[in-house]
Amino acid sequence: MPHSASRCETASTRPVPNRLATSRAPGKIILTGEHFVVLGAPAVAMAVNLYSHATVRPARPGRIEVEAGIPLQAIGPVNQNQNQNGRKLLEPLRLAARETLDYIGDKGSGISLDVDCEIPVGAGLGSSASTTVAIITAVAKARRAKLVRKEIFRIAFGPESFLHGSPSGVDHATSIYGGIISFTKPEGIKQLKLKQAPRILVCDTGIHRSTKKLVEAVVRKSREQRQAYSAHVDDVRDISENAIRALRKGDLGELGSLMDANHELLVKIGVSHPLLDKLVRVARVAGALGAKLTGAGGGGCIIALCKTGNDEVSIARALKKHGGLPYRVSMDREGTRIV
Ligand code: PMV
C-alpha cells in the first residue's frame, strides 16, 4: 500500500512559550517542464499535501535562532545542529527569516524558529521551497506585516538561490499559490482552475541528490549544444501547453502521453537514473496513463498518472515490489497559510 503523508520527528522538543505565529506550506510535483523551465520553457506543477511547518517565537533582540526537524535519513548520518552539513542545512532557513525581516523593515526583532518538514529532502518534491515559504509566511505574520503572494515569491529567491544556485522559481511559486499552476520564468504564474485534480501517485527511489549540481550540468550542456537545447525547449513548451489544455478538458489519456514524452526528453539530457527508468516502466505496465521523473532527477521520485483509485493501489503495489517507496498524495488547494 502507498505511504500516506506523515509528519516526521522535530529535532527540538524544548518548551518555548509565546508562540507568535505558525504556518504551513506544501511541497510540489512537476507534471511537465522541469529543467527546461530554467532555460525558458513553461512548466506545470501541482502542490501536494506534504507540508513544512514553521513556528515563530520571540527571542533576544537581533537574534535568529533556528531549530529544524529535517528528514535526516535522506542525507546520511549527520547531526544537523553540530556539524558542518547541519549548519549548511539550517542556513537557508535562517536566511528566509532574515530576508523577511529586512524586507518588512524590521531590523531589531529577535526570532526563534521551529521548522518541521515532512517532505523527503533531495527527492524532487520541493522540500526546501516549502520550508522557505512557510518561514516567510510565519515571520511576516509574527511581525504583523501583510505580504501578497508576489512579495513572498520574490523574498524566497534569496534562500532558494543559496541552496540551488539559480532556481527558476517554480518550486516556491507552487508552494505559495497551491493547486496547479503554469510557470514561466521570471514571474509568469497562472493558476489553473480545474473541476478535478489528476490522481497522481508519487514513488521515491530512495536515492537522494543535489538539485544544484543537476541543474548546473544541464545549463552547461545547453550552452555547449545550443541548437539541440533550443529544439528541446520548443518541444517542452508544446508539451506544457498541451498538458494545460488536456488538464482543462479532463483528457487524462493525452496528459499521460505528454508525461511519457517529457520523461523521454529528460532521459535524453541525462538527468534520469536507471531506477527512475525502471519505476517509470513498471508504473506504465501496471496501468498508469503516463509516468515520468519529477523534479531535478538523478534519483528522487517518479510520478504516475492513475485512472482510478483501484489502479492507484495496484500500481503502488507493483512499484513497491520493484524497490520503490510509493506515497499516496492529493492536491493541496490553498498554498501557504497560517494555521
Ligand atoms: O529541486 P527539485 O528537485 O524539486 O527540482 C526543481 C525543478 C528544476 O527545474 C530542476 C529546477 C528549477 O529551479 O526549476
Per-domain residue ranges for the chain? 5-193+333-338, 199-328
At residue 209, the pLDDT reads 85
Centroid of ligand 1 to alpha carbon of 77 (angstroms): 25
* Crossing angle of helices 226-249 and 211-224, rounded to 10°: 120
Confidence check: pLDDT of 75 > 80: no
- Which atom of ligand 1 is closest in space to residue 218's alpha carbon? 10
At residue 202, the pLDDT reads 97
Confidence check: pLDDT of 2 > 50: no
Q: Around 141, how many Cα atoms within 13 Å sit in the side-chain half-sphere?
A: 21
pLDDT tens per residue, range 92-139: 999 999 999 999 999 888 999 999 999 998 899 999 999 999 999 999
Give the separation between CA 315 and CA 318, rounded to whole angstroms.
5
The single-letter code of the amino acid at 48 is: V
Distances (CA, A) of 187 to 113, 161, 173: 29, 15, 9
Mutate to test the pocket of ligand 1, among 28, 35, 204 (most ligand atoms within 8 A of CB): 35
- Please enumerate, as own/partner, the contacts of 308-312 that have beta carbons within 8 Å and a separation of 24 or more: 308/199, 309/199, 311/286, 311/287, 312/2, 312/199, 312/201
Give the separation between CA 264 and CA 232, rounded to whole angstroms.
11
CATH 3.30.2010.30, applies to 5-193+333-338: no
pLDDT band at 17; cut points 50, 70, 90: low
Kindly report whether the global pTM for this prediction surpasses the value 0.75: yes
pLDDT tens per residue, range 185-235: 999 999 999 989 999 999 999 998 889 999 999 999 999 999 999 999 999
Confidence check: pLDDT of 18 > 60: yes
Q: Between residues 1 and 14, which one has the greater pLDDT?
A: 14
Residue written as cell 517542464? Answer: 33
pLDDT tens per residue, range 287-300: 999 999 999 999 99
Identical fold at 5-193+333-338 and 199-328?
no
The fourth-level CATH superfamily of domain 199-328 is: GHMP kinase, C-terminal domain (3.30.70.890)
Do 172 and 160 touch, CB atoms closer than 8 A?
yes
At residue 109, the pLDDT reads 87
Do 53 and 22 touch, CB atoms closer than 8 A?
yes
- Chain mean pLDDT for the chain: 91
What percentage of residues in the chain have a pLDDT greater than 70? 89
pLDDT tens per residue, range 26-40: 999 999 999 999 999
Alpha helices (H) along 65-192? 84-103, 127-142, 149-164, 170-177
Question: To 5 degrees, how large is the angle CA 94–CA 52–CA 28?
Answer: 115
Mutate to test the pocket of ligand 1, among 32, 48, 171, 273 (most ligand atoms within 8 A of CB): 171
What is the number of other CB atoms lying within 10 angstroms of the CB of residue 39? 17
What percentage of residues in the chain have a pLDDT greater than 90? 82
Q: Across residues 159-176, what is the average pLDDT?
A: 94
- Provide the β-strand partners of residue 202: 303, 327
Give the separation between CA 52 and CA 8, rounded to whole angstroms.
10
At residue 232, the pLDDT reads 98
What is the number of other CB atoms lying within 10 angstroms of the CB of residue 221? 14
Confidence check: pLDDT of 72 > 70: no
pLDDT tens per residue, range 248-278: 999 999 999 999 999 999 999 999 999 999 9
- Which atom of ligand 1 is closest in space to residue 160's alpha carbon? 13
> Distance between terminal CA atoms of the chain?
30
Catalytic residues: 171
| Cα R_g (the chain), whole angstroms | 19
Confidence check: pLDDT of 243 > 80: yes
DSSP secondary structure letter of residue 298: S
Q: Which residues line ligand 1 (CB under 6 A)?
A: 34-35, 37-38, 124, 126, 164, 167-168, 170-171, 211, 215, 295-296, 300
Give the separation between CA 33 and CA 27, rounded to whole angstroms.
17
At residue 7, the pLDDT reads 33
Grid coordinates given for 260: 511519457
At residue 84, the pLDDT reads 54
192 in helix, strand or coil?
A: strand
Mutate to test the pocket of ligand 1, among 29, 31, 32, 38 (most ligand atoms within 8 A of CB): 38
Do 1 and 181 touch, CB atoms closer than 8 A?
no
